[in-house]
Amino acid sequence: MPRYFLELAYKGTQYSGFQVQQNAVTIQSEVEKALGIYFNQVFSLTGSSRTDAGVHALQNYFHFDTDIAIQSRQLYNINAILPKDITVKNIHAVSTDAHCRFDAISREYRYFIYKEKDPFLQDRAWFYPYTIDMHLLNEAAQLVMGSHDFTSFSKRNTQVTNHICNVQKSEWLVQGDCLVFNVKANRFLRGMVKGLVGTMLRVGRGIITVNEFNQIIQAKDCTKADFTTPAQGLFLTAVTYPNAVFNSTHP
């Protein structure tokens, strides 16, 4: 049966996360419903990267199997059914063994914070009106680079066999009126980005030292990290695959 990758973007404010949940409205449930209405068939989607309630995405993927020959021109109709805060950007025909979760080679996130009150940022960034030392932030961010056990930055009760992640990019930068943490890795643990942001901001404010931040990484103890970071500032910005995944002819 033919397989398709569905590329989408969404504003997660009104949703209980990416993946389907019982008695909750999620990105997956809305997309499955829209596809079902348009094609008059039940769809079961597999997600590439789960995002929690309130988290946004500029790029994320589902895959699904169907005998229906789906055309790119049908995107307009599917988007017309979807809520305004979810958009399907593309549909890719892929090989039958392609998997949007397991074939991904990296994922990239950005977390946005702002210092001056701004009503246009309140649901897309964290209002954080404190003096922050950028040099200290980036010293801490450099310690995140490379392959480490990130148990300290993973919420409990996660279904993973290990906590090793290979971080390829970790930096703080200024983007417009926002201070932004940009991080890229082969995989992320549940709550990892928010835990890193919250703990590094404590470094930037001088509450803990860079050395103490490094000790938190080494401790492999999630009670040491700060997970109070709210969801609205977090964006999944990219999910990357080998070129071979998309080598099938587009429908």
Catalytic positions, written as ranges: 52
Hey, what amino acid is at 47? G
Sign of the CA dihedral running 181, 5, 165, 12: positive
Residue 181: alpha-carbon gap to chain centroid = 13
Report the C-alpha gap between 188 and 163 in whole angstroms: 9
The Cα-based distances of 7 to 87, 92, 155 in angstroms read 9, 8, 27
- Residue in the block written with tokens 């599917």: 78
* CA dihedral of 16, 20, 22, 23, whole degrees rounded to 10: 50
Distance CA 74, CA 37 (A): 13
Q: Measured between alpha carbons, how far is 99 from 165 in angstroms, rounded to an integer?
A: 20
Q: Specify the length of the chain in residues.
A: 251
